[in-house]
Amino acid sequence: MKVVFAPSRSVPLVRLLLSFDAGVAGDDRRKPGTQGIMLAMLDEGSNGALGPMSGPQVAREMERLGASFSAAAGLDRTRLGLNVLAPNLAPSLALFADMVRTPAFDSAQLERIRVQALTALAAEATSPQGLAYRALPELLYGPEHPYGLSFSGSGTEAGLKAITQADLQAFHATLRPEEATLFVVGDTSMADILPLLETHLGGWTSKAPAVAKAESATMPPARPERIVFIDRPGAPQSLIVAGAVSPLSGRDDTLALTLANEVFGGGVTSRLNQDLRETKAWSYGASSGFSATARAMPFQLSAPVQSDRTGDSIAAIRALLQAYRGAAPPTQEEIDRARAGIIRSLPGDFETGGALLGSLERNLALGRPDDHVATLPARLAAIPAAAVAAAPVPAPDQLVWVVVGDRASVLPQLQKLGLPIEERPATGPMPAAPPGAAAPGRAPRQ
């Protein structure tokens, strides 16, 4: 296990982030949702060096120490976190080690967590965002691609109902501590923290095969433009979501693309938001972005619009993209404004130890040098307008559209666009496991 340490002595806190090189893309394909249940149960009891502890005992001990635990996964990384008061670092780290190394996976707690997961899954069918982003991954990547299964690992009803204790134990064993990186930020020193880490996490290995990572996946084939319509009877507004697969990954040089998206749809002053919100007043806000993933990045655009302007809004977005890539490329003024916005936001991205922790992990995950942020302003300043204009913002015919709205009022509008339309019910089986409640957030712009 590699350790990365950065001192931060403004407050007596220490933050740890144990990052594994496998995320939601490595979820169990036979029982989707296994990873999410496994992570949710890490603080529901353990049986390690401190002896058997139930979930309530773990919670009380965490509260006594003034510590907090987190377990989550992005598409490419699994993250186990601990925030702790510096004076209580040693006992908190001992508890953390038991939780992550020897979780109990108690059968009674499994049933409780399963019910919670199934309830959250059912709630997606009542949310336009849940419906849209449930459908999108498979539409973009196909069902066999690691990113085509899920964006957040909430699983499927059948998968969640089938998960057993043995499944959780087996999936936990696929975590590869010898390949993980532990990031430490806070009021301590390497001399103080390293012996504690050796005591509690040293020697932790796994003999189980590692899960497949997205890096091994091939580029998904191009998919023809079409609209997938999901009926939500009586909806007063429609949710328009569009997606495409970028030829770039987060490990490529994406600065020109970042500026390009900032001009088109990434900011409040972007063309997309200004047109739909300020000029036409059809939406409270529209945005687009790329997620910095290990393989082909997903481009996602979101625009909740008034129901009677759904078709007009799609036509307007297509026209904006067509103009951006043709007759109206980004201007120098737009690029300068986007560049200044990114650079001026950087100090705010490092106001907390947690923000620093996240930046350190992004550098590792995306293969960036340690001075990535320090050199960012100069590198942004050096990008010419021609490079921004040439960045691969998708063309309209590269998009797959998902529209959630009232069929009676919206479908006739969509039919006038002349695009292929596939209708899906708001309930019933979906072709891919969904994101939890929303799309993957846009990665920090640096």
Q: pLDDT-derived band of residue 444, with 50, 70 and 90 as boundaries?
A: very low
* Residue 435 confidence (pLDDT) above 90: no
Cα 53 off chain centre by? 32
**pLDDT score of 142 more than 80:** yes
Interval 137-153 mean pLDDT: 88
> Binning pLDDT at 50, 70 and 90, where does residue 9 land?
confident
Given a contact cutoff of 8 angstroms between Cβ atoms, the answer to whether 74 and 292 are in contact is: no
Residue 216 confidence (pLDDT): 63
C-alpha 213: how far from chain center: 16
In the predicted structure, residue 425 carries a pLDDT above the cut 90: no
**Does 433 have pLDDT greater than 50?**
no
The pTM assigned to this predicted structure is 0.88
Which three-class secondary structure string do you get for the chain?
CEEEEEECCCCCEEEEEEEECCCHHHCCCCCCCHHHHHHHCCCCEEEECCEEEEHHHHHHHHHHHCCEEEEEECCCCEEEEEEEEHHHHHHHHHHHHHHHHCECCCHHHHHHHHHHHHHHHHHHCCCHHHHHHHHHHHHHHCCCCHHHHCCCCCCCHHHHHHCCHHHHHHHHHCCCHHHCEEEEEECCCHHHHHHHHHHHHCCCCCCCCCCCCHHHCCCCCCCCCEEEEEECCCCCEEEEEEEEECCCCCCCCCHHHHHHHHHHHHCCCCHHHHHHHHHCCCECCCEEEECCCCCCCEEEEEEEEEHHHHHHHHHHHHHHHHHHCCCCCCCHHHHHHHHHHHHHHCHHHHCCHHHHHHHHHHHHHCCCCCCHHHHHHHHHHCCCHHHHHHCCCCCHHHCEEEEEECHHHHHHHHHCCCCCEEEECCCCCCCCCCCCCCCCCCCCCC
More confident position, 212 or 374: 374
The mean predicted confidence, pLDDT, of the chain is 90
**pLDDT at 446 > cutoff 70:** no
Summarize the confidence of residues 376-397 as an average pLDDT: 95
- Whether the predicted pLDDT of 349 surpasses 80: no
- pLDDT confidence band for 231 (50 / 70 / 90): very high
Q: Which residue has the higher pLDDT, 208 or 69?
A: 69
Q: What is the pLDDT of residue 213?
A: 62
Averaged pLDDT, 379-399: 96
44, two tokens: 């529901």
High-pLDDT (> 70) share of the chain, %: 94
Going by pLDDT thresholds of 50, 70 and 90, the confidence category of residue 10 is confident
Interval 260-303: pLDDT, tens: 999 999 989 999 999 999 999 999 999 999 999 988 999 999 99
pLDDT at 259: 97
Q: pLDDT over 90 for what percent of the chain?
A: 76
pLDDT at 212 over 70: no
